[in-house]
Each structure stands twice: as C-alpha cells, then as structure tokens.
Amino acid sequence: MTAVKETARRPVGHFAERSLAGLLVVAGAGVGFGLLLMLVRFHWGPLYHADREVAEWVNRLVAPHHPLVTVIQAVTDLGGRPVLIWLVTIAVVGLLIRRQARLAVYLIITGVGGLILDPSLKALVGRLRPVVDVPITHAPGNSFPSGHALGSFVAYGALLLVFLPAMSPRWRKPAIAIVALLVALIGLTRIALGVHFVSDVIGGWLLGAAWLGVSAYAFRLWRRERGRPVPPLTEGLEPEAGEEIAPAPAEEHVLEHPRSAVAELLVGWVLVFGALYAFGLVVSYHAKGTFLDTLDTEVPRWFAARHTDTLNDLSWWWSKFGDTHAILAISLVFCPLVLAIWKRWRPVLFVALAMFGELTLFLASSGAVDRPRPKVDNLDGHLPTSSFPSGHIAATICLWTAIAIIVLARTDRWWRWLFVAMAVIMPVGVAVSRMYRGMHHPTDFMGAILLSALWMGLLYWIVRPNADVHEGNQPAIESEQVHELDDELAKADRAD
C-alpha cells in the first residue's frame, strides 16, 4: 500500500517542482493587481498625481507628430478586439480541423475569461479616462484596467503557449521575446494615445498575467490528472501535438524553382501593366466617336437618371464587398482555413500574390492613365485614385476567382459550385454598383476584367496552386466529416 501511495505522489511532486516558480509568478501578479486595484479604487493621491503628470507629458511629446501617431495607431490596433477575436477564432477553428479539441477549448475558455474580466472590472472601478490638452483619439467606456493591455497579454500569450510546440526549439525563445515585445508596445501605445493612464496599462498586464497563468495551470492539472507528463511552459501546453498543429509539416518547399518563379512573375507583371496601360489610353483618350465612347457616356447617364434612396443604399452596401477592408477580411478567413485543412502554403501564396499583384497593377495603371471619373453625380465623392481600371471590381474578381480555383480542385462535394457562382455574382454585383454610383465607366469594368484575366492566368501557370492535390495530398478533415467537429468539443472534457 505504501508503494502505491509513493507511486501516486511522484507525478504530483514532479509537477509541483516544475510549477513552483510559475505559481509564485501568477500569485505575485494577482496580488499586485489587487493592490493596484485598491489604490485606484480609493483614489490614492500620489498614484493619481503621477498618472496625470505622465499623461500630460506623453501627450505633449506625441501629439505634434502626425506620422508617429499613425504608426502608434497601427500598433494599438493589434491589441483591439477585432484583431484578437479574429486570431483566436481562426486558431480555434484550425485546431478543431486538426482534431486538437483540448487546445481549442483552452483558447475559448482563456479568451472568454479575458472578455469577461475587462468590462466587469471597468464597471466596478468606474475610473474616467485621461483628459489631455490635445486629444489624439477617443475610446469609449472607463479606463481601469486597459482592455488592450489585458486582451493582448491573454490572447497572444495563449496562442503562444498553444503553438510553441509547432516551432523549432531554436525559434521558441525569439518567439517568446517577440510576443512580449508586442504586448509591451500595445500597452505603451494606449498611454501614448492618451486613452489610458500608466496604472491602467500596468493593471491590464498584471491581470492578464494572472488569468493566463491560472488557465495554463488548470490545463497542466488536467494533464497530470490523466497521467500525462507536464512539460515546462517553454515547450508549450502539449508538446506531443507539435507536428499536428504545424502549419505545413509535410511541405518541403512552397515553389519548386522560386528564383525562376520570381523572375517570371516580374516579367509577367510588366507585360500585364503594358497591356492595361495601352487599353486604358485607348478607351480614355483615343476612342472619341466610337461605340466605346458612346457606351462610356450613355451608361453612366442611364444609371444617374434612375437614382433612388433605396438603390443608393443598396449600391453602397454592395460596393463595400469590393473595398479593401472586405477583400482583406475574406482573405484573412479563407487562407488560414485552407492552411489548416490541406497543410500547404502554396494555395495561400496564390491568394496573397493574386491580391498583391492586383493592388500594384491597379495603382500603377490608375496613376499612369489618370482617367477622370464619369461626368455624372459621383455618389462616393472625390477619391484619390482615377477611374481606370476599377480597383473594386478587379479585387473582387481576383479574390473570388482564386477561391474558386482552390476549392473546385480540392473537393468533390456539390457546394464547391457555390464558390464558382460567387466568382461570377460578386464581381457583377460590385460592377453594377460602382457604375450606378457614377464612379466608373463600362470600359473601366473591361479594364478590371483584362487585369484579372491576365494576372490570374499568369499566376495559375507559375504557382500551380493545386499541385499538391494532383500529387495525392488529402485534407486534414474530409468534407463529409465536418459534422464531427462538434463531437470533438464534447470529448474534450472526458478522459482519453
């Protein structure tokens, strides 16, 4: 009986030895946050005086430099809820696809906990935000603790703990350092923008460290209770899952001949730009009296004569499907899902090059041709780019064509044809909306088609996005097994 008890104590003692320092850190963070919370809640004079002095000094230092403010705003957005929720959601879906439900549950619980702690504590404390001489930006709600500091610490820390095993050991310490630097910069930007006091940010970091430590400790306890080894946190939460959660563990190289591919893409880009430039000059300045000139004159007038409030609103919303934010959002959802399912970077590279090439070709040809907008009421007002070609339409065509090319070759399910339909419906809808709003001529639409057809054809020939499928690559989860993802969450709370 004594031998049995001793055997049972060994994993417990081993776990305690490895976790003692971590527990002390977590406890210290919790005590530090509690003390800071009391000082803020009861308006301790020295703390408030120091906070205000720093806020005013930083405001005088930052406010006059607009380029610096732009950079700071870009960094602070990395700690905002939209970015953090997107990162965690994509990671959770990817883990479920890779059948790592325990890690997915850990991310969900840790992320939801951070979302609950932030507003509830702000309401409890009720601290107002700083008032500075030159307001740079505005943030709603109360001030303590900083939601950006708390959220970035929890989200990036949890993602790091989950995906550390997928990294080579020599990259783990640099990854930890990069995440720590990012979290620190996000917190400092909140002070620089004048929306938080120093104590708000420190409070967010302390609370984030405490909550992340508690959730990681709970996960490690779960492993111990099921007789699994408890590794140091520097190896991640589940080292044995490293290969399974690696983005593309079986891919030796993205492109077989990267140097020649780059050269071909550069030459092809120049040729596509030349074709666009020539077509743009012809339709913009040398088509007077032709059918194209009549088309470009009469179609915008026809649309302008049929403006109504309902159609104005509808065209505005449909036009938004082709703007930069919508295109980027769709790409940032589709690409991680493709990577999670097929474990290959090549289709992701195909989409990325499609969008980058479209953007650069549009900007270059728009600047070179410099075509005026149609001579009708332009509902979107003055835009910094010229009329030819339509960037909204070209981006929509390239994105949905790239998606259709990838999906069509990678599944035999009926719903793949929905993506083919979207590759037709979305560009047509955006094109009609842009012309209805008086922002483009019909030949601008033709220019977008020319850009998309030439660039996408070139990319398909060089990148060969579906080469892995032809070589026998199978998805991590078959299309008919999608319903099984729900079962993975249910199994996460049970012993193996």
Q: Does 39 lie in the same domain as 160?
A: yes
The two structure tokens encoding residue 268: 């092809």
d(CA 269, CA 273): 6
The two structure tokens encoding residue 1: 């009986």
Neighbours of 293 (CB within 10 A): 15
Contact indicator for 388, 280 with CB cutoff of 8 Å: yes
Contact indicator for 51, 199 with CB cutoff of 8 Å: yes
Q: Which of 245, 267, 301 is the last residue of a domain?
A: 245
Q: Does 286 lie in the same domain as 210?
A: no
Give 32: exposed, middle or buried? Use CB within 10 Å, 0-12, 13-18, 19+.
middle
d(CA 17, CA 20): 6
Owning domain of residue 428: 258-472
Q: Does 267 lie in the same domain as 234?
A: no
User: Is residue 342 included in any domain, yes or no?
Assistant: yes
**Percent of the chain whose pLDDT exceeds 70:** 90
Contact indicator for 330, 400 with CB cutoff of 8 Å: no
- The DSSP output letter for 233 is G
Q: Does 47 lie in the same domain as 136?
A: yes
Q: Does 400 lie in the same domain as 295?
A: yes
Would the pTM count as exceeding 0.85?
no
d(CA 287, CA 296): 10
**Percent of the chain whose pLDDT exceeds 90:** 46
User: Is residue 464 included in any domain, yes or no?
Assistant: yes
* Closest residue by Cα to residue 437 from 365, 369, 387, 366: 387
User: Is residue 56 included in any domain, yes or no?
Assistant: yes
User: Is residue 288 included in any domain, yes or no?
Assistant: yes
* Closest residue by Cα to residue 77 from 151, 133, 135, 179: 151
Q: Which of 215, 245, 275 is the last residue of a domain?
A: 245
Residue-wise pLDDT for 248-289, tens only, equals 776 667 788 888 999 999 999 999 999 999 999 999 998 888
Q: Which of 187, 220, 245 is the last residue of a domain?
A: 245
Q: Does 302 lie in the same domain as 406?
A: yes
User: Is residue 54 included in any domain, yes or no?
Assistant: yes
d(CA 189, CA 69): 9
User: 361 falls in which pLDDT band (50, 70, 90)?
Assistant: very high
Write the CB contacts of 140 (distance below 8 Å, at least 6 apart in sequence). Answer: none
Q: Does 276 lie in the same domain as 127?
A: no
Q: Does 398 lie in the same domain as 330?
A: yes
Q: Does 140 lie in the same domain as 279?
A: no
Residue-wise pLDDT for 306-339, tens only, equals 999 999 999 999 999 888 889 999 999 999 998 8
Q: Does 263 lie in the same domain as 196?
A: no
d(CA 168, CA 187): 29
Q: Answer whether the bond into residue 140 is a cis peptide, omega within 30°.
A: no
The two structure tokens encoding residue 473: 């690559």
User: Is residue 269 included in any domain, yes or no?
Assistant: yes
How many domains does the chain divide into? 2
User: Is residue 217 included in any domain, yes or no?
Assistant: yes
Tell me what pLDDT residue 476 has: 64
d(CA 388, CA 273): 12
User: 493 falls in which pLDDT band (50, 70, 90)?
Assistant: very low
Neighbours of 85 (CB within 10 A): 14
Residue-wise pLDDT for 59-110, tens only, equals 888 888 888 888 989 899 999 989 999 999 999 998 998 888 889 999 999 9
d(CA 262, CA 274): 18
Give 209: exposed, middle or buried? Use CB within 10 Å, 0-12, 13-18, 19+.
buried
User: Is residue 8 included in any domain, yes or no?
Assistant: yes
Q: Answer whether the bond into residue 174 is a cis peptide, omega within 30°.
A: no
Tell me what pLDDT residue 405 has: 94
What average pLDDT does this structure show over 24-28? 78
d(CA 361, CA 447): 11
The two structure tokens encoding residue 179: 């995440």
Q: Does 270 lie in the same domain as 219?
A: no
Q: Does 414 lie in the same domain as 440?
A: yes
What do you get for the CA distance between the two ends of the chain, in Å? 27
Of the candidate ranges 96-105, 237-246, 287-296, 363-372, the one whose mean pLDDT is the lowest: 237-246
